[in-house]
Amino acid sequence: MNKNKTLSLTTYGLKNTNQRKALYELLQKQNQPVKAEDLYKELQNKNIAISLSTIYRILDAFLEKGIVSKTTIDNDGVIYYEVPRSKHFHHLICLSCHKIVNFENCPIHDFEDELANKTNFAIAYHQLDVYGYCPECLAKMKEKHSTIK
């Protein structure tokens, strides 16, 4: 996959529309996964005419072509999108405040190679999201319930 900022969407069989280019450029600037609604607000602030439904359609096309990946926070189903980076990383996701922290150490990489060899499956990528509570939310929970350790 071409991961540079001058991505030509035609490489993926997509037209290079102004809306697609603007959305891709905005995604490229993010340092962590972002919700479609937040992308919509940012594009509106930049006076780019685009509807939220168009953003979702573009994101679906990007997902299908492997241009973006998505992460879901499972307790509320909110979907976050991001452009895969040259550095391989995964996410720690707070179940309370939904803070997302990237981490680079991949515990699955060797297992992925072993799995591919055993199954002859051509693994394109993997995703690891670890759910829990960030230090701030954990401290708040401890204050409310002194029995939590």
pLDDT tens readout for residues 21-72: 999 999 989 888 899 999 999 999 999 999 999 999 999 999 998 888 888 7
- The enclosing domain of 125 has a CATH number of 3.30.1490.190
CA 2 to CA 98: how far, in whole Å? 29
- Quick one: 72 and 4 in the same domain? yes
What is the reported pTM? Answer: 0.66
- Quick one: 7 and 58 in the same domain? yes
> Which pLDDT score, from 0 to 100, does residue 21 have?
93
- Quick one: 76 and 95 in the same domain? no
- Quick one: 105 and 127 in the same domain? yes
Domain total of the chain? 2
Q: Which of 86, 107, 123 is the last residue of a domain?
A: 86
- Quick one: 29 and 41 in the same domain? yes
Parent domain of 148:
87-149
End-to-end Cα distance, the chain: 45
